[in-house]
Structure 1
């Protein structure tokens, strides 16, 4: 029995090792709130939710007259709500060999029965989380339809992060294989850098300026909404998290998709601390799919909100009536979404799953804030050994302004 349970622990550890090494996006996200989820979570339960406080923004008094401000903190939440796993029927002969001498036979067992499973699981989760996060990011650079092939787009992304007061450390950019190929000249000399822990990853390409550069096949694509017409702001002086527009094609049809980005003529971004106006238009993110009515009217949910004064000011002024709206990209066209970001732009946490109170062998392991459970049992109905591997995680944007999409082809 001792060897049996030792084998279960070794399989759990080996599975987690492979899984962790295959994660690129999730491993470069904030995990500071993992400690909030250290209690064991039972199966078939929604995990706990943690409310994350963010620093309050302030304005500066000018002159001697006291001008008190309310202390209002922004917050976001992180909920453990995503279960992913892999299940398999195990050949008894192979397991018998592993149980006899787990440490000696683990390498062969891992290559045959764990490597492909964990690589597939990790890449599936990485791609899913990447697709979930990029649509929460409203900063964008690059030329839609053109794969980045110079330093320019990366420098523009760095500027976006700087203008949003992003810390200089812990910045990274994840690019797809096409961008890696086309920007080879821009990344010359990276191989000459001193070997670091990151360089042990097959995806790590090196560092350039403030960014650690990674390549991933899981970089998502975004298809711009159908659009149509000549969209304009409908009524001036609008503020808040929605924008009333008109000028779309006069037909009830889908126009904008979640993740689309647009600018408004005359509405500029400001420095969050000083409120000084930048020279670039504020980019607004569409946060939900939306259609126009039969007259071409449409109200879009947007981020950031249009705020023209106070501690949380986002723009220099509210849009004028009939101000032109310009959507990034061409209607119904797909573009790669390479991503530059700070580690704290997004956060992820893994729950520690409990061992079931039945006669199965179970082991839960945690490595680098990633938890995984391995279970093995016997299916008496079909007379075969079975196993399952589970991960239970949650993620959200934390400081989404510290991320920037780099459009490609």
Structure 2
């Protein structure tokens, strides 16, 4: 019986399967696919508009109090195009698909998946909720339970929830938690594969990824800064500080609290009850800032709303003179492991244009991921170069439903 040639569609579908199986963080986030891109092909910079859930105040008594809609929108820009080159000959097209995938596709596409995951891991820069001790590798169930606490205080749905940690944290957690209240089957899996596994401490999955990012804090002083002005407007996105270091920097992703339990505290509220959780709200800087000679500067943050507002984030708006305390020592690098509900982060791919007049071309879509493969003959060098492309964007659309686990 003669060999049958592998088709480009078969190769593309197999490539997409390998890509999905090698994704870690991206596999467990909200994946959206916009079919409108299939008509003419997408371009870098195309923007998707994502609607967030409406929020309203509950009122007492028989008298009706009609409220305006509080629907919010966020945007996701499809700005990342990644590809990897691979060559395969006509002879290799006569192989069995699994053999072809193992020898030709898997070594390259696994690298493509790691690169995509590394991009999505940058989502930590938009997340303020933090647990763990900077500089200490997580190694107990407490930090994972504290992550669950943050999600619960922010009214995140109980499932699906995930934790993705770097190799050091994975080793520390498996060693530190071995045998602690875990069923025998879970302990067995941990022993065999060295991973925390599924269904542990309320997480659908606790996995490991080498793509977890390291974050270097700004040169700002961790303590000593104060608010130089009160926030007086609902929905304000700027916090003015002073005394945080002459000419120091605040980096995108720096986390800080405002006030202390005994002086001008700015507490986080539960988004459904709008009551204080008793935990200081953790703000995150959304852009880099270089402070002035007195350590003064304006930090851009997500919109701030008090408990009287339907979109409440804090119990009271930040007050002038309140202490500013940053997480982590100045100019120090820390791993940013992630704990998140699936809907905290969204990932969207779009269809790339299908070129004409090439040797082979195919585009396939599965589970919200669109992948394109194109092969062409290079007459100048007598070669058959092939490229595998994915065009995507990601965004933290509900930062309150995610937590950074510092290491």
**2:215 equivalent to 1:222:** yes
Aligned length: 391
Question: Measured at CA, do residues 280 and 159 of structure 1 come closer, stay the same or move farther in structure 2, by a change above 3 Å?
Answer: same
* Deviation readout 1:176-221 (Å, 9 max, x if unpaired): 111111112325346704999xxxx997722212212111111111
In the TM superposition, 1:168-247 aligns within 5 A as 168-184=158-174, 185-188=176-179, 189=182, 192-193=185-186, 205-211=197-203, 212-228=205-221, 230-239=224-233, 240-247=236-243
Per-residue deviation, residues 227-276 of structure 1 (Å, max 9, x unmatched): 13721011235441101111133x3x242100011001111111212211
1:38-68 Cα distance to aligned partner (Å, 9 max, x none)? 624537x236433222221111223344433
Q: Does 1:307 align with 2:306?
A: yes
Aligned pair 1:110/2:106, yes or no?
Answer: no
Unmatched runs of 5 consecutive residues or more in structure 2: 260-264
Residues 82 and 392 of structure 1 are in contact (CA less than 8 Å); yes or no, is this contact kept in structure 2? yes
Answer yes or no: is the 8 Å Cα contact 1:377–1:386 preserved in 2: yes
Return the alpha-carbon distance in structure 1 between the equivalents of residues 195 and 395 of structure 2.
23
Paired with 1:169 and 1:242, the residues of 2 have a C-alpha distance of 33
Specify the alignment match of 2:353 in structure 1: 354
Residue 25 in 1 paired to residue 25 in 2?
Answer: yes
Q: CA deviation at 1:360?
A: 2.7
Distance in 2 between the 1:304 and 1:120 partners? 37
Q: CA deviation at 1:319?
A: 2.5
Q: Where does residue 343 of structure 2 map in the other structure?
A: 344
Q: Once structures 1 and 2 are overlaid, which stretch shifts more, 303-312 or 135-144?
A: 303-312
Q: Which residue of 2 aligns with 1:74?
A: 72
What is the match of residue 97 of structure 1?
91
> SS where residue 353 of structure 1 aligns?
coil
Distance 1:210 1:36, change over 3 A: farther
- The SS at the match of 1:118 is helix
SS at match of 2:138: coil
Corresponding position: 1:7 with 2:10: no
Partner of 2:338, secondary structure, is strand
Offset of residue 107 of structure 1:
3.7
Instruction: Look up the SS of the partner of 1:192 in the other structure.
Output: helix
Equivalent position of 2:262 in the other structure: none
Question: Is the 1:41–1:351 contact (alpha carbons within 8 Å) kept by the matching residues of 2?
Answer: no
Q: Secondary structure at the match of 1:126?
A: helix
**Partner of 1:392 in structure 2?**
391
Superposition CA RMSD, Å: 2.5
Offset at 1:328? 0.6
Within 2, Cα distance between the matches of 1:78 and 1:289?
Answer: 21
In 1, the alpha carbon distance for the partners of 2:211 and 2:91 equals: 36
Distance 1:346 1:319 in 2: 27
- What is the CA deviation profile of residues 55-108 of structure 1, one whole-angstrom value per residue up to 9, with x for unaligned ones? 211112233444332112011123322110012344xxxx23234x34x3x344
**TM-score between the two structures when normalised by the length of structure 1:** 0.88
CA shift for structure 1 position 28: 0.5
The aligned runs of 1:260-279 (5 Å cut-off) are: 260-265=254-259, 266-279=265-278
What runs of 5+ residues in structure 1 fail to find an aligned partner? Answer: none
